[in-house]
Amino acid sequence: MFKTILDQTVSLCKETGLLIKTAIIEAKKSGSQAYSLKSFNQLVTEYDIAAEKRLTTGLAEIFPQAGFLTEEKTVDQTEKEFLWVIDPIDGTTNFVRGIPVFCISVALVYNHYPQVGVIYELNQDEIFAACKDGGATLNGKSISVSDNTELKSSLLATGFPYYDYDRINGYIDALKLFLQLTQGVRRLGSAAADLAYVACGRFDGFFEYGLSPWDVAAGILLIEEAGGKVSDFKNEDNALYGSEIIAANQPIHEIMLGIIKEAGL
């Protein structure tokens, strides 16, 4: 069942991607991108809204038993055992500024565990897809997390806090340690892209706090199906709703967890 749902979700994400790509062309012609501020440092465009509406309409047809948990809340947020968890444009600030890193992220979650996940990185035309116990793919080809076992040869990714600064000191302390102990730390501005890149081995690990379920739901499944490990900062299975995440291959995850604990994050 989930494989069929995955295939249909991939097709819908591609279709929705065309809508967003058309918006990019229009914005380039006009020389500007209209947006509004939902809350401090959180932008939304008319294309986020339009893309989410297209996704929710299509997903309701693909699997009507599921409720919805979506970033822009264009439909009723009904709690059910199956939930479509959706971010129509993850990386909206990048989208507005013309920085080419942003994604559609869609997951079907059953009782808090992702069963289907799709991340579509539009600028590279890359579809990352996974279903539970079915492995993970990039444009139809099997992917896996990196086999790196040492932090000194690792490239990590993170996301900077942009509204929750209560833990900023611990975050900076962790970042200082990672900067000194790795090949580098990247900040792309899209948690979905970061997680997809861990799943295919481009990054060895990713950490961030202040996240929402729609930022991570699809990426969690991708990494687990690609052989990696995902947890919160306490090494508990609460990354989906816990607002914090460590995602990496197995050995790097363990090392990152120790450093994050050392930093008091």
H or E segment and range at residue 60: helix 46-62
Q: Give CA–CA dist 29/92, Å, rounded.
A: 19
Q: Residue 223 in contact with residue 247, Cβ under 8 Å?
A: yes
Mean per-residue pLDDT of the chain: 91
Q: Map tokens 């989930």 to a residue.
A: 2
Task: Find the mean pLDDT for residues 141-157.
Answer: 97
* CATH 3.40.190.80 in the chain, residue ranges: 151-262
Residue 43 has pLDDT above 80, yes or no: no
At the top level of CATH, the class of 151-262 is: alpha beta
Every domain range in the chain assigned CATH 3.30.540.10: 2-142
| 224-241: pLDDT as tens digits | 999 999 999 999 999 999
Higher pLDDT, 20 or 156: 156
pLDDT band at 79 (very low <50, low <70, confident <90, very high): confident
Q: Using CA atoms, how far apart are residues 84 and 12, in angstroms rounded to an integer?
A: 13
CB of 85 within 8 A of CB of 217? yes
**Least-confidence region, from 36-40, 46-50, 138-142:** 36-40
At the top level of CATH, which class does the domain 2-142 belong to? alpha beta
pLDDT level of residue 36 (50, 70, 90 thresholds): very low
Strand partners, 119: 105, 128
pTM: 0.93
DSSP string covering 168-223, please?
HHHHHHHHHHHHHHSSEEE--S-HHHHHHHHHTTSSSEEEEES--HHHHHHHHHHH
